[in-house]
Structure 1
Amino acid sequence: MLKKYSLFFILLFTAFFSVDLYAQAVQQDSDQQINDFSLAGFGDKGKKTWDLSAKSADIFPDVVKLKDIIGNLYREQEDIQLTADRGAFDKVNNQVHLEQNVIITTTSGAKLTTDSLDWDRKNQLVTTDDIVNIEREGIITIAQGAKGEPSLNKVTLDKDVTVKINPSEKNSQPQEIEKNRIIITCDGPLQVDYEKNLAKFNDNVKVENNESTIYSDTMEVYFTISDKAKTIKDNAAAGMSNKIDKIVAKGHVRIMRGDNVSYSDEAVYSATDKKITLLGKPRLVIYSTEDMNAAFRN
């Protein structure tokens, strides 16, 4: 008799446990599934400022899970589009998480690609911990992690930064582009401000071109204003070109040109006269008479 009661309680417990698990599974299902999901926001005078659409959406109490996402921001100077294969809209915090083939494009010509991205629409901020690739005006930037404005006008790249500055491809042969390319690397972070035409590199900075290599602790690279920006009044989005105007290297500066090496606390390169000025205890090491004569002639 005791065995029968024990068996009964075991079966009863198992039944309740199974029902509880089933109830939890049911609760994880979305409240509603719809196709062609869309949201939009409007500013003054009823003008649309942003929208978000997806081919399908699973709607939960606090979040909406999305597929095939397109988000748009409408600005006075330029428009911005964000796309991704999947994502989620947080209804509580009004934020969007994007993942798989995430792309940001702007009408001024900038493009960012990454594996995942968080879009804080209220604070106008995008962030990611993944590898990012940013292309703009002949400048390609690759880094691990980034945060900045959706317009990409102000961006901070977190670490392991590589920047490739390509010369203008107009009327240029591939060999000439490769020869004149400038590559800058640093441990990071890198802060880029397109409105000020300025990029600030930090920690173990290295600049390479076909003639020389520069090492320093930090470096500020100033770019010229693009031709496109000159024709558009007050358009910061199209401001920075891929042409360097000035480089300011600071901290343990070392410049290598062939076998010759120069050292200083600071170095300033001017693209206008193509000269480097060494500041703070400069020291030059020359390994041949020919190079010495050339150095003094310059």
Structure 2
Amino acid sequence: MGLKKAVLILAFLFITSALLAAVPAQEAGQQINDFSLSGFGEKGRKAWDLSGKSADILGQVVKLKEVVGNHYTDKDTVNLTADKGDFNKASGLVHLEDNVVITTSGGAKLTTDSLDWDRKKQMVSTLDKVNIHKQDMNLSGVGAKSATALKTMELDKQVRLDIQQAEDKKSRKEKIMITCDGPLEVDYEKNVAVFNNNVKVEKPDLTIYSDRMQVYFTPKKEEAKGTQESMAMSSSINKIVSQGNVRILRGENTTYSQEAIYDAVSKKITLTGRPQIIIYQTGDMNAAFGN
């Protein structure tokens, strides 16, 4: 009886030690030096691809280093790079980390610390700070969601837009800064950006405060439409519509209203909703009053 019990104990210890020894090997999974994966859409066209210099395959998750991804559409090619990332084989989601960069064929560049790429929905998102550069515009904020091609974008908070604007090629560029608490919604194809909560516009000749603001950009020339460029709007502001508790400072003059429309071409301001003006010195307000 004692001998049988001893044999059973030894067998149990042997099996347990074997199982414990197998766990690290299972967790380590497979490791390969080069990893690449592609997806195809309609008519057999390549829709996306993903590659890494080295990869650890752990069940449904592929851990990548030196990640490179591409998203292809009829008009745009979007490139994504990062130092490392995870690819979930079941969901198809890609998580990128460290030195994440998105560039588009239209010249836009987004940088952040981490990013989630949903290939099926063609969306990218992050909770980290993002910086977007395009020609004479720099946009930053914390937390972002965007179409992969950066055609539309939402920034959650701490939004800041810096613009170097010139009326024509011979004019000196004018600095414009717009900030808000967020969120910000940008539609590059419709040439409009909507700022929300504690909005402030700073120009050399005036400062505008409001609860909400719609900034309309001048569309690019017709000849530019034939190019493969996702972000179609220029860095030139055409019109600013401010709404809710609007306050405008111009020199020592101050105006108040519920809505103000600033025409960047004529430099005129139209005030509506119980407008008031406080004038401390003679100045040309170029303001037309509405109802």
Give the Å deviation of 1:21. Answer: 6.0
Is 1:167–2:165 an aligned residue pair?
yes
Change in 2 beyond 3 A, CA 1:157/1:170: same
Structure 1 residue identity aligned to 2:26: Q
8 Å CA contact 2:151, 2:188 repeated in 1: yes
Q: 1:58 aligns with which of 56, 81, 88?
A: 56
Take 1:129 and 1:297, find their aligned partners in 2: how far apart are those partners?
41
Is 1:113 the counterpart of 2:111 in the alignment? Answer: yes
1:16-42 C-alpha deviation (Å, 9 max, x unpaired):
998776554443212x11112100011
Alignment of 1:240 onto 2:233: yes
2:91 aligns with one of 71, 74, 93: 93
Paired amino acid for 2:152: K
For the 8 Å contact 1:194–1:236, the answer to whether it is kept is: no
State which of 78, 85, 102 in structure 1 corresponds to 2:76.
78
Cα deviation for residue 14 of structure 1 reads 11
- Larger deviation: 159-168 or 111-120? 159-168
Aligned to 2:138: 140
Which residue does 1:262 correspond to in 2? 255
Q: Which residue of 1 aligns with 2:183?
A: 189
Give 2:4's aligned residue: none
Superposition TM-score, scaled by structure 2 size: 0.88
Quick check: 1:206 aligned with 2:197? no
Structure-1 separation of matches of 2:246 and 2:22: 66
- Name the one with the larger helix percent: 1
Counterpart residue number, 2:6: none
Farther-moved stretch of structure 1 (257-266 vs 19-28): 19-28
Question: C-alpha distance in 1, partners of 2:108/2:207?
Answer: 28
Q: Is the 8 A contact 2:268 2:286 kept in 1?
A: no
Q: Within 1, Cα distance between the matches of 2:164 and 2:13?
A: 68
Aligned with 1:231: secondary structure?
helix
The aligned counterpart of 2:27 is: 28
| 8 Å CA contact 2:31, 2:57 repeated in 1 | yes
Residue identity in the other structure for 1:181:
K
Unaligned runs of 5+ in 1: 1-8
Residue identity in the other structure for 1:29: A
Alignment partner, residue 3 of structure 1: none
Q: How far 1:250 moved relative to its partner? A: 0.1
Query: Once superposed, what is the RMSD of the aligned Cα atoms?
Result: 2.8
Q: Work out which of the residue numbers 36, 41, 44 in structure 1 matches 2:42.
A: 44
Confirm or deny: 8 A CA contact 1:55 1:68 kept in the other structure.
Answer: yes
User: Unaligned 5+ residue runs, structure 2?
Assistant: 1-8
Find out whether 1:284 has 2:277 as its counterpart. Answer: yes
Asked whether 1:230 is paired with 2:227, we answer no
Query: Could you tell me the percent identity over the aligned residues?
Result: 51
Q: Residues of 1 paired with 2:149 and 2:192: CA distance?
A: 16
Residues 212-234 of structure 1, C-alpha deviations (whole Å, 9 max, x = no match): 1100000000001123x633249
Q: Distance in 2 between matches of 1:221 and 1:55?
A: 43
Q: Which amino acid aligns with 1:248?
A: V
Closer, same or farther in 2 for the Cα pair 1:185/1:212, shift >3 Å? same
Return the alpha-carbon distance in structure 1 between the equivalents of residues 81 and 249 of structure 2.
Answer: 44
1:219 to 210, 213, 235: 213
Looking at structure 2, the residues matched to 157 and 138 of structure 1 have their Cα atoms a distance apart, in angstroms, of: 19
Conserved? CA contact 1:33–1:58, under 8 Å:
yes
Contact 1:138–1:168 under 8 Å retained in 2: no
Task: Give secondary structure in 2 for the equivalent of 1:28.
Answer: helix
Partner-residue secondary structure (3-state), 2:230? helix
1:275 matches 2:274: no
Could you tell me which residue of structure 1 aligns to residue 242 of structure 2? 249
Give the 3-state SS of the residue equivalent to 1:237 in structure 2: coil
